[in-house]
Amino acid sequence: DTQMTQSPSSVSASVGDRVTITCRASEGISTWLAWYQQKPGKAPNLLIYSTSRLQSGVPSRFSGSGSGTEFTLTISSLQPDDFATYYCQQANSFPWTFGQGTKVELK
Amino acid sequence: QITLKESGPTLVKPTQTLTLTCTLSGFSVINDGMGVGWIRQPPGKALEWLALIYWDDDKRYRPSLKSRLSITKDTSKNQVVLTMTNLDPVDTATYYCARRRGGTVATVFDYWGQGTLVTVSS
């Protein structure tokens, strides 16, 4: 299985901050990476797929980059609605696997 | 409007079999390229993909759980059913069904159900 490792596990930030989350794959996954946002008690919400493609309806302050084994999710200016846990998911090879999550908390 | 909704027992005893149903609305699992998967999340932990069924009835299972899982679809009811045998307390989790996003060869999930918490305890 392809292992996905996210860093940091948590980040404290303020509204307006730029936040970057990293996801590393244990083997190359080309650009087959997705990001999800999950709020407490809710289902995950797809933000980005194929590394950098924004899902319909997702604000443009979210962006993704990377290829191979290292990927980033960037929130350019953190908004109150963005405090949540973020997961990466590799879609390159079966079985599809998720990272352990990064919690974005209020500083 | 696309929705998915999970239903099933909330409490299951160890060694029993769990059957969860995902009822789809706004799309059909038999549409070309479509797929519906199951993903679970133990309390406070990460997401874990379990199984996926495609429009053409092709199926994929998490290898480590393959012997315990079965996924089927009922096209007349527009439902997808997951069965998991020989449950253990470590299977306690919120179980989600989710739609595989069309328009890409990659398997990512663009619509999710609200999830159903299943507790395994005697």
> Quick count: other Cβ atoms within 10 Å of Cβ B81?
18
- Nearest chain B residue to A40, by CA: B44
Answer yes or no: is pLDDT of B107 > 80: yes
d(CA A72, CA A57): 20
Instruction: Please state, in angstroms and rounded to a whole number, the distance separating the CA atoms of residues A82 and A63.
Output: 13
Min distance A50 CA to chain B CA atoms (Å)? 8
pLDDT value at B103 more than 80: no
pLDDT at B111 over 80: yes
What local confidence, expressed as pLDDT, does residue B33 receive? 83
- What's the first-to-final CA gap in chain B, in angstroms? 39
pLDDT of residue B122: 95
pLDDT at residue B32, as a whole number: 81
The string of pLDDT tens digits covering residues B7-51 is: 999 999 999 999 999 999 999 888 888 899 999 999 999 999 999
A93 CA: distance to closest CA in chain B (Å)? 9
A46, A53, A85, best to mutate vs chain B, most B CBs in 10 Å: A46
Contact assignment for A46 to B110 by CB distance below 8 Å: yes
Do residue A55 and residue B104 have CB atoms under 8 angstroms apart?
no
pLDDT of residue B80: 97
Residue B91's pLDDT is: 98
Categorize the per-residue pLDDT at B105 as very low, low, confident or very high, splitting at 50, 70 and 90: confident
Give chain B's contact residues with A (Cβ, < 8 Å).
46-49, 60, 62-63, 96, 98, 101, 104, 106-110, 112-115
Q: A45: which chain B residues are within 8 Å (Cβ-Cβ)?
A: 112
What is the percent of chain B where pLDDT is above 90?
A: 89
Residue pair A46/B47 in contact by the 8 Å Cβ criterion: no
How close A15 comes to chain B (CA, Å)? 25
In chain A, which residues have their Cβ closer than 8 Å to the Cβ of B107? 91, 96
pLDDT of residue B101: 85
Sheet containing A4-7: order of strands:
A4-7, A19-25, A70-75, A62-67
Q: Do residue B60 and residue A94 have CB atoms under 8 angstroms apart?
A: yes
Residues lower than pLDDT 50 in chain A: none
Quick one: closest CA in A to B65, which residue? A95
Mean pLDDT of B81-99: 98
Look at residues A76, A83, A64, A89 and name the one whose alpha carbon lies nearest to residue A4: A89
Chain B residues touching residue A97 (CB < 8 angstroms): 49
Across the interface, do A92 and B106 touch by the CB < 8 Å criterion? Answer: yes
